[in-house]
Amino acid sequence: MTQVSRPPRSESGGLAARVSLGRRFTPVSTEFLLIASTALLLTLFGLVMVLSATSATAVADGANPMDGALRQGVFALLGIPLMFLISRLPIAFLKKMAWPALFGAVALQMLVFTPLGIADGGNRNWIMIAGFTLQPSEFLKLALALWIAAVLLRKRTMLGTWHHVFIPVIPVGALAIGTVLAGKDLGTAMVLVLILLGCLFFSGVKLRLFIIPVVLGVVAVLAYALSSEDRMRRITATCDDMSLYYTDCYQSIHGIWGMASGGIFGLGLGNSQEKYGWLPAAGNDFIFAIVGEELGLIGCIVVLALFTFFTVGAFHIIRKTDDPFIRVAAGGITVWIVGQAVLNIGVVIGVFPVMGVPLPFMSQGGTALLAVLIACGVLLAFARTLPAEEKPSAAAGRVTR
């Protein structure tokens, strides 16, 4: 009987496929999972609340009740894939893009003072292009954080002297913030100041040097506030005085009433009363009030918990990384997103005066959502660079007798 011998199987192709597949599905860090999951959950939560908050006024205006949520959903569908795409970018590329990003963002912000610019609520901080409304200052937040990180990286061995800390960070930062203040958007300018201070703090500058820009920032904000009688009246208004109900405190009072009427479990999703024309910006700056009214204290705790998990993931990146650029940029982005959330929620519950700062991920506003998701993509790119956690081997746990 003739035996036909078969050549040995070549496993090189299968091995290469397995290696390629393994690289594609490399396990990600806990920080990556925390930031990605909380960003997705907050965005989804926001879409639901935007639908609830805007549908009533849309019907009253004779529009499609889904319009607000659909427009927000378009930016979410664009921003989420972009977030994961940016997470694959090498850190060297982000460092190289820091300067062009800042110049581009400032140039885009300057367009608000051209015929493309439009004003809303007394602020000139938007542009209209091909029927789409954009808020350039949202992209300026990320660009400023990356730029400061790139500058301080080059000066990392010289941060013990004041002129290396402040130049060019303070002059250029002041220029960027000034373009926003020129449009009378104090809320966004305050967030930019927080980003600048956050980057300086996480760069490790000496405390005596860090105090100087803090004082300068406080003085600048106070000077700008004092320059307008209307602005000072809004800041100093005491909203427990019902004589101001129809003027400076109308929005704040209705926001607090909405939160209070929700109780522990809320009135039920879609059952808000304040959104029926009583609470201005119900789907935007005061969306947290609608969360409290419809979903109660439980819904508010869920939102706060998600932001807490996001903060934990971001601070783990800051703590674990060995790259000064990543530490400073991640610090600036974290201060931006978390600090802005604190400001927004503080406004809704009456701790801060109304300043027009949206709640990240959740407030209606496509540009704001897109900018935050892009920033999360940068954080995810940082998370991919963290050193792998060493897992104890099975042999290490055995006791030799």
Nearest-angstrom CA–CA distance, 221 and 235 = 12
Residue 168 to residue 154: CA distance in whole angstroms: 12
> Helices 186-202 & 136-154, crossing angle to 10 degrees?
20
pLDDT of residue 3: 53
Q: Is 345 exposed, middle or buried (0-12, 13-18, 19+ CB in 10 A)?
A: buried
pTM: 0.88
HEC profile of the chain: CCCCCCCCCCCHHHHHHHHHHHHHCCCCCHHHHHHHHHHHHHHHHHHHHHHHHHHHHHHHCCCCCCHHHHHHHHHHHHHHHHHHHHCCCCHHHHHHHHHHHHHHHHHHHHHHHCCCEEEECCEEEEEEECCEEECHHHHHHHHHHHHHHHHHHHCCCCCCCHHHHHCCHHHHHHHHHHHHHCCCCHHHHHHHHHHHHHHHHHCCCCHHHHHHHHHHHHHHHHHHHHCCHHHHHHHHCCCCCHHHCCCCCHHHHHHHHHHHHHCCCCCCCCCCCCCCCCCCCCCCCCHHHHHHHHHHHHHHHHHHHHHHHHHHHHHHHHHHCCCHHHHHHHHHHHHHHHHHHHHHHHHHCCCCCCCCCCCCCCCCCHHHHHHHHHHHHHHHHHHCCCCCCCCCCCHHHCCCC
**Domain definitions of the chain by residue range:** 29-386
Encoding tokens for residue 121? Answer: 């609520």
Residue 18: its pLDDT value, please?
Answer: 47
Residue recorded with tokens 């979903």 = 295
Tell me which residue of 242, 121, 138, 251 sits closest to 195, measured CA to CA: 138
Contact 157, 184 (CB under 8 A): no
* Structural Rg of the chain based on CA atoms: 25
Tokens 């080059």 belong to: 154
User: Are 256 and 350 contacting, i.e. CB atoms less than 8 angstroms apart?
Assistant: yes
The tokens 């007798």 sit on which residue? 401
pLDDT in tens, the chain (401 residues): 455 555 555 445 554 444 444 445 567 889 999 999 999 999 999 999 999 999 888 887 778 889 989 999 999 999 999 999 999 999 999 999 999 999 999 999 999 999 999 988 778 889 998 778 899 999 999 999 999 999 999 987 777 777 777 889 999 999 999 999 999 888 999 999 999 999 999 998 888 888 888 888 788 877 877 777 766 766 666 566 566 666 667 888 888 899 999 999 999 999 999 988 888 888 999 999 999 999 999 999 999 999 999 999 999 999 999 999 999 999 999 999 999 999 999 999 988 888 889 999 999 999 999 999 999 999 999 999 998 665 555 444 444 44
387: its two tokens: 């050193």
Question: What is the Cα–Cα distance from 207 to 165, expressed in whole angstroms?
Answer: 12
| Rounded Cα–Cα distance for residues 283 and 277 (Å) | 11
Tokens found for residue 185? 């958007």
- Residue keyed to tokens 């396990």: 27
Strands 132-134 and 117-120: unpaired
CB distance 294 to 56 below 8 Å: no
Backbone angles phi and psi of 126, in degrees to 5: -135, 155
